[in-house]
């Protein structure tokens, strides 16, 4: 590579692995992760997240390792670990701090550390740099420097990829910015955008997803209003969408590792600085309540169709946070599950993409194989996986007791002109 930098990537998940593979097609990359099982699977040539195809993985020269000492071979370290929120919706910087400790313990004079993990503005320099300095005994700005280049990975999206999305880059000083831009430009075909400061780059990332979160929150609030009016929300959006500048957002569950999480990083920092956000937190409350709302609509229609709620059986199709990915992080489908269970409903969940072991470990949910699903009084199509769409109404009626019952189409994907007789359809 023209920049002559040896790359390491710390964290080989949905974000880090595509980055490592892109650089690994040009020169050897050190790929580090603390998850030994994950590293073993990658060494065997398969990515369980399905973000990287086996053929692409085979083409990349990556030293997969769990040994921090291997990071010494690199001088340009990219940190791409998760940054979740805790149960109180407060930023949990534990993974990025632990990653900083790992990198710091191997840091050398002249190294550059670039963070891709989503954080609030100021976190790189205020929270991470002190850790790097403490563990390395080196001084930032003198012995080593840092940068920030926010990830823009969209799980399951095979069009907008790491190499085809404009990369925002930033650096602690002008020289570092030049190097960071040069390094990423070697693999990102879409080019780079140089942010003037690290804080600007950090802020750009959190508002990208905050903007999307708020737009979806508006659609969800409209869905709540239109339901009371007896109007189909998607019909309204189809009509309004004929205007050239109407934005094509739709109501739905907002989960995942970005949209449902990033706004809390911004609002947390704002609160620390003495400003209590109004609009952002209002949108978050609406979106966080949609799972319970869907469950309530299912219960209402069970009652309307003459079913006893307690002891009724409901089959939920899909548990992942979005269609056609195995990613269960921050899925809001779990809110539907828990709310229905609180009503005394017997809930069974099916998902062809999700890992049964992960579903049980993360949420205590037992994924039921399709052939073992008992006839249900209601079916909730929560995630529009392709296998579900392919079978359509045939699948839905086969899961209902006697082919009749309540159907909640959360994504609005089932054809309304072919609703089977005996089916009470509701859609968000």
**Catalytic site positions:** 258
Q: Collapsing DSSP states into helix, strand and coil, what is residue 108? A: coil
Judge whether 147 and 162 are in contact, CB under 8 Å. Answer: no
First to last CA, the chain: 50
State how far the Cα of 401 lies from the Cα of 404, in Å rounded to an integer.
6
DSSP 113-178: EEE-S---TTHIIIIIHHHHHHHH---BTTTBEEEE------TT-SSS-GGGSPEEE-BSSHHHHH
Judge whether 395 and 423 are in contact, CB under 8 Å. Answer: no
State how far the Cα of 254 lies from the Cα of 44, in Å rounded to an integer.
34
Long-range residue pairs from 46-49, CB within 8 A, at least 24 positions apart, any chain? 47/17, 48/326, 48/355, 49/13, 49/14, 49/17, 49/155, 49/325, 49/326, 49/327
Compute, in degrees rounded to 10, the torsion defined by CA atoms 336, 283, 280, 338: -10
Q: Collapsing DSSP states into helix, strand and coil, what is residue 425? A: strand
For residue 192, give the H/E element and its range.
strand 192-194
Q: Calculate the CA 29 to chain-centre distance.
A: 25
Joined tokens for residue 296: 């309530």
Judge whether 112 and 179 are in contact, CB under 8 Å. Answer: yes
DSSP 343-396: TT-EEEEE-SSS-HHHHHHHH---BPPGGGPPPBSEEEE-S--HHHHHHTHHHH
Pairing of strands 62-65, 76-79: unpaired
Instruction: Give every strand in the sheet of 378-381, ordered side by side.
Output: 346-350, 313-317, 378-381, 405-409, 423-427
Q: Calculate the CA 189 to chain-centre distance.
A: 24
State how far the Cα of 69 lies from the Cα of 54, in Å rounded to an integer.
27
Opening angle at CA 69, ends 65 and 70, nearest 5: 45
């Amino acid at each position: 590579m023209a920049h002559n930098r040896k790359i390491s990537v710390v964290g080989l998940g949905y974000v880090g692995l595509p980055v490592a593979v892109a650089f690994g097609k040009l020169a050897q990359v050190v790929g580090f992760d603390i998850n030994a099982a994950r590293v073993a699977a990658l060494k065997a040539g398969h990515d369980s997240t399905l973000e990287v195809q086996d053929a692409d993985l085979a083409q990349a020269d990556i030293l997969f390792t769990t040994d921090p000492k291997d990071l010494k071979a690199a001088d340009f370290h990219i940190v791409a670990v998760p940054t979740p929120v805790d149960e109180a919706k407060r930023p949990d910087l534990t993974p990025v701090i632990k990653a900083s400790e790992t990198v710091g313990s191997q840091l050398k004079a002249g190294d550059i550390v670039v963070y891709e993990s989503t954080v609030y503005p100021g976190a790189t320099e205020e929270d991470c740099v002190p850790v790097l300095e403490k563990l390395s005994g080196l001084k930032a700005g003198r012995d080593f420097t840092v940068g920030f280049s926010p990830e823009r990975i969209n799980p399951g999206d095979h069009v907008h990829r790491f190499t085809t999305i404009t990369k925002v880059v930033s650096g602690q000083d002008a020289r570092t910015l030049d190097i960071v831009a040069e390094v990423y430009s070697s693999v990102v075909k879409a080019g780079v955008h140089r942010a003037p400061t690290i804080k600007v780059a950090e802020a750009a990332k959190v508002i990208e997803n905050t903007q999307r979160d708020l737009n979806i929150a508006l659609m969800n609030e409209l869905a709540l209003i239109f339901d009371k009016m007896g109007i189909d929300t998607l019909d309204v959006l189809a009509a309004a969408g004929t205007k050239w500048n109407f934005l094509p957002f739709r109501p739905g569950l907002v989960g995942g590792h970005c949209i449902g999480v990033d706004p809390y990083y911004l609002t947390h920092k704002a609160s620390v600085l003495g400003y209590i956000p109004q609009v952002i937190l209002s949108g978050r409350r609406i979106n966080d309540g949609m799972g319970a709302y869907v469950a309530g609509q299912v219960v209402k229609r069970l009652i309307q169709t003459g079913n006893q709620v307690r002891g009724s059986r409901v089959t939920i199709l899909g548990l992942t946070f979005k269609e056609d990915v195995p990613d269960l992080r921050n899925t809001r489908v779990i809110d539907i599950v828990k709310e229905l269970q609180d009503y005394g409903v017997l809930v069974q969940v099916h998902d062809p993409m999700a890992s049964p072991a992960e579903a049980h470990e993360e949420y205590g949910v037992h994924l039921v194989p399709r052939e073992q699903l008992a006839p249900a009084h209601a079916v909730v199509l929560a995630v529009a996986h392709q296998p579900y769409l392919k079978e359509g109404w045939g699948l839905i009626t086969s899961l209902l007791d006697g082919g009749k019952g309540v159907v909640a189409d959360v994504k609005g994907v089932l054809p309304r002109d072919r609703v089977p007789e005996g089916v009470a359809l509701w859609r968000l």
